[in-house]
Amino acid sequence: MKTKNIFLSAVVVAATVAVSSCSLDYDPIDTYSDVTQGVTEDEEEIVFSTKADVISAIDGLYTKIHDRQEHWYLDNRLIAECHSDNAYVGTTGAEVVPYEDNSIEGSNSVVERDWDRFLADAATATKIITNLDKVQDGSLSESEQNRYRAEAEIFRAMIWFDMVRMWGDIPCIRTTAGNITAENVGEMYDAYFPEQMAEEEVYQNIEMDLLDALQYAPDKTGDKTLFSKDVARALLAKVYAEKPIRDYSKTIKYVDELIANGYDLVDDYSLLYGIDGAAKDGYNATPLASNTVESILEVHYVVGSGNWASWMFGRCLENWDESFTWAKWVTPSRDLCKAFTDAGDTKRYEESVVWYECAWSNYYPSDNYAFMYKCRSGYVNWIKYRMGDLLLLKAEALINGTTPDLEAAATIIDKVRARVGLAKLPSSTRSSKDAMLNALLLERRLELAFEGERWFDLVRLDKVEEVMNAVYAKDSGRLAQRNAFTQNSYRLPIPQAAIDQNDKLIQNPGY
């Protein structure tokens, strides 16, 4: 390909991404752009003219996590639950079935849309971060710059963390690409067509963002929707448990800081995802509780601004018959239901799985069909990070750390079990590291079912092959396995469309 054609392609791709992002995500045009804000005399884009522009951009990040439910919420459950032993995909279609039968390819439309949208969201955060010191009217103080940068860094870190766990090596861009001109067309090529960054380096960049955010993000308030210092602590605890940058002592450190800051389990597990009742019975289908002592970051959906993802999983109880004529996504597996039953865990089972009569029979008889129940209303809060997850992550760190403390880990697991009426772990389990690790994995499976953690737990603890290659034989409801799970399965394929646009991208092994 001739050089001039390469750079012409760069311009076309950049323009296409901008247009398609708006049309795919139903986002309004950004409040700032070359059109609305113009450029300086030196032809440098004016991103923010006033502090109000900055606040509007920060508000836009919160809007993204609220509104863009497809990749933040729906696809996360498809990957974490249906690509694991927790769920069947629930419906038919080339975009979803491969997550159950392990036949995902780079042409998969879910893989492509998640890649594109995450990168677009990260780019939005980066544009804010790199332009906070250039507000034209000088109205933004240094402390305000620090706070808004911290909030954008937390948002970007959340995106990169989700991406690196899915794909491994990803483009991890900390600068904003400028406008292409005749003079800079050569140097702009790398900005528009970046290379992937090695997985470990991505984690180091996430760490860098979060450590800065920890200094300047808002302090804890009663509003758990904020990107606060404690959100940074929670994400750091999770980051340090991952293999490329693993430091379990730091996982323990940041969980302990959350505990010291007053976070704990709520007394009643049903307060996490429960509602006051179905609208057909005269209730509002609104949450039993919000901003609980357990929540670290949550997204609120209120009357008039509901979570549309609810009707993708089952009945949305604010409107009993809304969109209940077609097969739903993320159907609880028989293997998961058996795990609840074998553990005698009726409380978490009832809060995670519900049974209805429906018009289809893809996985169960239509007169008694299982549905994921943790998103039962359009007004249920989406809890992104909570202490149930973080406490069990600390237990993992105590089991697998350089100086294992099995009894301390067992005490944490016992606390989580006691909330739902289960007995303490037996002494035979408490005295064995392998037994404790298996007990931890089971506890995380039951505690966090349908919260987007199961697949990533199996990957983090190198359990994918052991668990997933065995589940097809013992779970009679699963679609037939197409490919065996191997080390290559730990990463999703890079979208082929992205590779076709950018020849610097390298496909993950096995695809």
Please give the helix or strand (H or E) that residue 382 lies within, else none: strand 382-386
| Residue 440, SS3 per DSSP | helix
Give the pLDDT confidence score for residue 184 in this predicted structure.
65
Give how far Cα 259 sits from Cα of 234, 394, 461, Å: 11, 11, 25
Name the residue type at position 409: A
DSSP, res 70: I
Sign of the CA dihedral running 178, 180, 183, 188: positive
Contacting residues for 380 by C-beta, under 8 A, at least 6 apart:
273, 275, 287, 301, 307, 310, 374
Nearest CA to 135 among 49, 59, 58?
49
Show pLDDT as tens, one digit a residue, over the chain (511 residues).
Answer: 333 333 334 433 443 343 333 333 334 334 434 434 565 555 567 899 999 999 999 999 999 999 988 999 999 999 999 999 999 999 999 999 999 999 999 999 999 999 999 999 999 999 999 999 999 999 999 999 999 999 999 999 999 999 999 999 999 999 887 666 666 666 666 777 889 999 999 999 999 999 999 999 999 999 999 999 999 999 999 999 999 999 999 999 999 999 999 999 999 999 999 999 999 999 999 999 999 999 999 999 998 888 999 999 999 999 999 999 999 999 999 999 999 999 999 999 999 999 999 999 999 999 999 999 999 999 999 999 999 999 999 999 999 999 999 999 999 999 999 999 999 999 999 999 999 999 999 999 999 999 999 999 999 999 999 999 999 999 999 999 999 999 999 999 999 999 999 999 999 999 9
Nearest CA to 273 among 436, 432, 383?
383
Residue 20 CB coordination number (10 Å): 12
The alpha carbon of 465 is separated from its chain's Cα centroid by a whole number of angstroms, namely 23
Give the pLDDT confidence score for residue 35 in this predicted structure.
39
Give the pLDDT confidence score for residue 188 in this predicted structure.
66
Give the pLDDT confidence score for residue 45 in this predicted structure.
77
Give the pLDDT confidence score for residue 177 in this predicted structure.
72
Q: What angle do the packed helices 109-129 and 51-67 form, to 10 degrees? A: 160
Contacting residues for 188 by C-beta, under 8 A, at least 6 apart:
7, 10, 177, 178, 180
- Taking the complete model, does pTM exceed 0.75, yes or no? yes
| Residue 355, SS3 per DSSP | strand
Give the pLDDT confidence score for residue 295 in this predicted structure.
98
Give the pLDDT confidence score for residue 180 in this predicted structure.
61
